Amino acid sequence: MGARTGRLTVPSTWRSRLKAAKDIYEEIYFAPYRSQIYRSYREQRDLFLIMTFSDMLGVPNPAAFYALELYPDLIEEFHQWHLRMGMDQAPEGGFRCC
Amino acid sequence: MGNAAFDRKVLFFGGKGGVGKTTLAASVAIVSAERGARTLLVSTDPAHSTSDVLGLPLGNEPSEVLSNLWAVEIDPAQEVDRYIEQVKARIADSTPPRLAAEVERQIDIARVTPGADESAMFDRFTKILAELGSTYDRIVFDTAPLGHTLRLLSLPELMGTWIDGLIVRRKKVNVLGRMWRSVSGAAQGSSTDDDPVLSALQDRRQRFAAARDVMTDADQTGFVFVVIPEHLPVSETERSVEVLDRNSIPVSGVVVNQCYEGADRERRERESGYLERLRRRFSTHPIIELPRLEAEPHGLDGLRQLIATIPGDAFEG
C-alpha cells in the first residue's frame, strides 16, 4: 500500500498530486479506525487466553487438562500479555513462559 | 435392534461395587465373541478386576483373550503420560526456543492437576468408541461404581459446551486479526486461516460430539444396571436412572444378580419385594434375574457356569 509513503514523495504531476491528497485523506480517516481494530483484536486475544487458562487464575475450567494441548501455540501470546500488563515475569503459580 | 437387554453394539454395565458387574460384562462379552462379533471388553474402573475375573493378565492396550474377543483395562496414569508426551512432541514445532524449557516444565506440572486422570480417561474412552464399526463390532464397558461412571458419561455434554464457547471466541480473534492485518498492511501473505489453536479445538469438539452421538443412540447403545436384591443397590439404581435420562443415555435392561433360591422363606419374600420395586421403575425394560451361584465364578470355565444361567433371549430379542 502506498498510503504511508505518499507523504514522503514529491508529487510532480497533477495526477500524482491528487493521489497524494487521497492517500493523506485515507490516512487521516483510517488512523483512529486502525487503532480501534488493534485494540479490539488485542482484547479478544486476551479474553481467549483468560477463558482457556482460567484455572490458572483460580476460576474452575472443566476442560483445563485439554487446554494443555493449546499451550505450545499460545505461549508467545501469553508472554506478550503479561509484559503488556506490566509484569516483567509471568505471574507466580500459573502459566509460565519466562 | 430388538428389545433384548444385550442386543446393542455398545453396552455399559454399571452398578454398585460388588454386585457382579465385571463378571457379567465379561460373560456377555464372551457370548458376543462366540456368536461371531468382534468384541472389545473395556474396564474403565481404576480399581480393575477384569483380569482377575478372566484369570488373565490385561494391560492398557487391548490383548486377545479368545478368538474375536479382546480386553483392555484403561490405566488413567498411562493415559495422562501419553497425552503429555504428545503435547511435548509439538513444542519443538510451535514454541520459540527460548521458551521451550519453561514450557516443558509447566507441562510436567499439569500431570498432577486435579481432573487430569478423569480427562485422560475420557479422552481414551472417546478414542475407543471411535473404533466401533471398524475394529470392533461390539464394545462392552465394565464401568467404575456408578458415581464415577455417571460423571464420565455426562462429560461430553459438559466439555462440549465449554469448547463451543472457546471456538466462538477464537473465531472472533481470527476475524479481528485478519482485519488488523489488512488495515495495517502487515504480512498479507501469512494467512491465519490455518490457526492451529482453532483446528485443535475443532478436532476435539468433533470427537466429543461423535462420542455423544453414539452414547445417546438407543439403537446402538444400552446401559445395563446390575443390582442385587437389597436395599442400597436398588435405591441407588432408582436414583441413577434419572441421571442417565437427563443425559439422554438409553437404558437397555436391568440384571438382578445373585437372587436367592434357597429355603429361607422370609429372605425370598424380602427379595421379591425389591424385584417388585424394580419392575415398577423399569416397566418398559427387560429385567433379567440370575441365581446366586454356589461358587463365585472366575476364570473362563467359571464364567461358563454363569453364562449357562443367562436366558438366550437376553442377547437377541
- Between B113, B159, B173, which is nearest A62 by CB? B159
Nearest CA in chain A to B182: A34
* pLDDT band of A1, cuts 50, 70, 90: very low
Q: What is residue B187's predicted lDDT score, i.e. its pLDDT? A: 59
| Of A39 and A86, more confident | A39
Cα torsion B94, B95, B101, B102: sign: negative
Decide the pairing of beta strands B221-227 and B10-14: parallel
- Residues of B within 8 A of A48 (CB-CB) are 166, 169-170, 173
Calculate how close chain B gets to A10, using CA atoms only, in Å.
22
Calculate how close chain B gets to A11, using CA atoms only, in Å.
23
- Residues of A within 8 A of B97 (CB-CB) are none
Cα torsion B280, B285, B291, B296: sign: negative
pLDDT above 70: residue B271: yes
Q: What is residue B190's predicted lDDT score, i.e. its pLDDT? A: 54
* pLDDT band of B191, cuts 50, 70, 90: low
pLDDT tens digits, A55-79: 777 788 878 888 888 888 888 888 7
Q: How far apart are CA B72 and CA B103, in angstroms?
A: 33
Q: What is residue B54's predicted lDDT score, i.e. its pLDDT? A: 93
Nearest CA in chain A to B185: A1
Q: Which helix (H) or strand (E) holds A79?
A: helix A71-84
- Residues of A within 8 A of B158 (CB-CB) are 62
B87 and A30 within 8 Å at the Cβ level: the answer is no
* pLDDT band of A2, cuts 50, 70, 90: very low
Burial class (CB in 10 A: 0-12, 13-18, 19+), B54: buried
- Between A44, A61, A76, which is nearest B172 by CB? A44
Q: How far apart are CA B254 and CA B214, in angstroms?
A: 20
Do the Cβ atoms of B285 and B250 come closer than 8 Å? no
Q: Is A2 helix (H, G, I), strand (E, B) or coil?
A: coil
Calculate how close chain B gets to A62, using CA atoms only, in Å.
7
Q: What is residue B193's predicted lDDT score, i.e. its pLDDT? A: 62
Long-range contacts of B95-100 (CB under 8 A, 24+ apart): B95/A72, B95/A75, B95/A76, B96/A75, B96/A76, B98/A98, B99/A75, B99/A76, B99/A79, B99/A97, B99/A98
* pLDDT band of A92, cuts 50, 70, 90: low
Calculate how close chain A gets to B15, using CA atoms only, in Å.
25
Average pLDDT value over all residues in chain A = 78
CA B273 to chain centre: 32
Pick left, alpha or beta for residue B185 (phi over 0 → left; psi -120 to 50 → alpha; otherwise beta). left
Q: How far apart are CA B302 and CA B75, in angstroms?
A: 26
- Residues of B within 8 A of A62 (CB-CB) are 115, 158-159, 162
All 3 cell numbers of residue B219?
439403537
- Between A34, A48, A65, which is nearest B115 by CB? A65
Could you give the angle at which helices B21-34 and B299-309 cross, rounded to 10 degrees?
A: 90
Task: Indicate the DSSP class of residue A90.
Answer: P
Calculate how close chain B gets to A59, using CA atoms only, in Å.
13
* HEC secondary structure over chain B: CCCCCCCCCEEEEECCCCCCHHHHHHHHHHHHHHCCCCEEEEECCCCCCHHHHHCCCCCCCCEEEECCEEEEECCHHHHHHHHHHHHHHHHHHHCCHHHHHHHHHHHHHHCCCCCHHHHHHHHHHHHHHCCECCCECEEEEECCCHHHHHHHHHHHHHHHHHHHHHHHHHHHHHHHHHHHHHHHCCCCCCCCCCCHHHHHHHHHHHHHHHHHHHHCCCCCEEEEEEECCCHHHHHHHHHHHHHHHHCCCCEEEEEEEEECCCCCHHHHHHHHHHHHHHHHHCCCCCEEEEECCCCCCCHHHHHHHHHHHCCHHHCCC
- Residues of B within 8 A of A34 (CB-CB) are 180, 183-184
A70 and B84 within 8 Å at the Cβ level: the answer is no
Q: What is residue B214's predicted lDDT score, i.e. its pLDDT? A: 92
The residue with cell 443425559 is B247
Decide the pairing of beta strands B39-43 and B251-259: unpaired
A75 and B197 within 8 Å at the Cβ level: the answer is no
| Predicted ipTM of the assembly | 0.73
B107 and A71 within 8 Å at the Cβ level: the answer is yes
The arithmetic mean of pLDDT across residues B43-56, rounded, is 90
pLDDT tens digits, B132-169: 999 999 999 998 877 777 777 788 788 888 899 999 99
A48 and B196 within 8 Å at the Cβ level: the answer is no
- Residues of B within 8 A of A76 (CB-CB) are 95-96, 99
| Of B117 and A92, more confident | B117
The arithmetic mean of pLDDT across residues B241-247, rounded, is 87
- Between A30, A41, A70, which is nearest B200 by CB? A70
pLDDT above 50: residue B199: yes
- Whole-number percent of chain B with pLDDT over 90: 55
Average pLDDT value over all residues in chain B = 88
Q: What is residue B276's predicted lDDT score, i.e. its pLDDT? A: 94
- Comparing CA positions, the residue from B219, B177, B218 lying closest to residue B194 is B177
